[in-house]
Amino acid sequence: MPSLIDFRRRIRSVKNTQQITKAMKMVSAAKLRRAQDRVIAARPYSKMLREMLSNVAAAAGDNEAASENPLLAVREQKKALLVVVTADRGLCGGFNGNLIKRAVAFVRENPGIEFTFDLVGRKGRDFFKKRYSGVSGEMVGIFLKSPAYADAIELSKRVMQQYADGEIDAVYLAVNEFKSVMAPNITVKRILPLEVPAESGAGDYVYEQDPVELLGTLLPRYVEVQMYGALLESAAAEHAARMTAMDSASSNAGDVIEKLTLYMNRVRQAAITKEIIEIVSGASALE
């Protein structure tokens, strides 16, 4: 049986770990608030851009040149690109593992498509590079700070260039969307070819610029905004998952400390009882 010193060392070690998990929870809570504010602030812009794209697409619908945009080209899906957005660090529960499992399941659900991967985040990069050969791009370290719009532009340009050149026939995005603190929403959605939103019917506009040219400008911007929104959603979901995981770890550490303290008291009580019995027995032998 462990001695009292062993129990005290173990309790001290668990308490130190508990202090770390509590501090990490507080840090994640502060970062979550800022990340959540950025997500909420970005959503109206994305919605407005979608409505604008819908109106411009309706205005350019009668022009055959609008359908020649490479981002609207629909081809038979023989090759596809899967963009997987994970975190750069762990200690966030099943945030990375569940997303990777969903991405792998999506690949297996489509055996007739040859997939290549563009990996955002160190955890996804490490997993897929060890198990799959078709990695066409990677971005690591962007979640160690707040994701910037420049990161979304870099990722979007790489993806759109491959699609426009005919190297791939579709682009899918696997990401943790931020829905609540307790549970993120894992989604796999198609990014390219673009599905132009249906006509909003907001009104009849007069365009100074030709609607076809305007559509060609808005389509890449729409892809960039979708990518940027995905990065923001993933960052917020990561902080929420880490805050929840660290809260659970702190609670578990408290339970371990309580059990170890109980065992230590039992061992100390047994040692004291043994010493009393030895003293009494010795005194009785001298009589």
H/E element, 263 = helix 211-286
Closest C-alpha among 58, 47, 43, 46 to residue 201:
58
- Alpha helix stretches (DSSP H) within 121-210: 122-131, 149-164
Distance CA 184, CA 195 (A): 25
Count of CB atoms situated within 10 Å of the CB of 74: 12
Catalytic-role residue among 32, 92, 139, 232: 92
Residues 176, 180, 183, 188: what is their CA dihedral angle, to the nearest 10 degrees?
A: -30
Is residue 92 part of the annotated active site? The answer reads: yes
Q: Counting Cβ atoms within 10 Å, is residue 220 exposed (0-12), middle (13-18) or buried (19+)?
A: middle
Tokens for 58, please give them. Answer: 């309706």
**CA-to-CA separations, 160 to 81, 119, 169, 194, 219, in angstroms, rounded:** 11, 15, 11, 11, 10
Catalytic annotation, residues: 92
